Amino acid sequence: MSAPIAVFPGSFDPVTVGHFSIVERALPLFERIYIGLGRNTGKKSMFPLEKRMEWLEVTFKDMAQVEVVSFEGLTVDLCRKLHATFILRGLRNSTDHGYERSIALMNMQIGKVDTLFLPSAPEHAHVSSTIVREMIANNASVEAFVPPGVRIA
């Protein structure tokens, strides 16, 4: 039996070292991981979709098992389309846990898709796209928090 396929959904605004670490650690578990860049979260993003996509592609270019796709709609519908049986998510803290658990239960009920949670690496537990955006907005350097290919000019 071949290994399952996973979707790692998010807004990646921008992609961070925290995201990278989750994908890197999940790689041995899956035949393929699709990074699902969501287009319809109702969130106003700091960076345009094309830029977020470009950064994701640069970040994961050396991982043959990883493919970046953008999508609109429910994650479970993307999973069905891509034959993915798992959603991959990272957990930083108990706030993430409470929120993610509800979404995971909903996805299980409506899409019969299971969610695999990986705890954030200890050195990344404080890293979030939200904080990175806040730093960018205030002209602070974010080099330590984003993958090397991500150049925020």
Task: Reply yes or no on whether 44 is catalytic.
Answer: no
Task: Reply yes or no on whether 92 is catalytic.
Answer: yes
Task: Reply yes or no on whether 43 is catalytic.
Answer: yes
Give the interface size with ligand ADP as a residue count (CB under 6 A).
17
Among candidate residues 25, 39, 51, 92, the one labeled active-site is 92
The answer to whether the beta carbons of residues 35 and 77 sit under 8 Å apart is no
Q: Does 14 bind ligand ADP (CB under 6 A)?
A: no
Among candidate residues 2, 43, 44, 141, the one labeled active-site is 43
Instruction: CB nearer to ligand ADP: give 85 or 100.
Output: 100
Query: Of residues 76-95, which lie at the interface with ligand ADP (CB under 6 A)?
Result: 89-90, 92
Task: Reply yes or no on whether 83 is catalytic.
Answer: no
How far apart CA 15 and CA 132 sit, in angstroms, is: 9
Residues noted as catalytic: 19, 43, 92, 129
Contact positions toward ligand ADP, by CB under 6 A? 9-12, 16, 18-19, 22, 89-90, 92, 96, 120, 124, 127-129
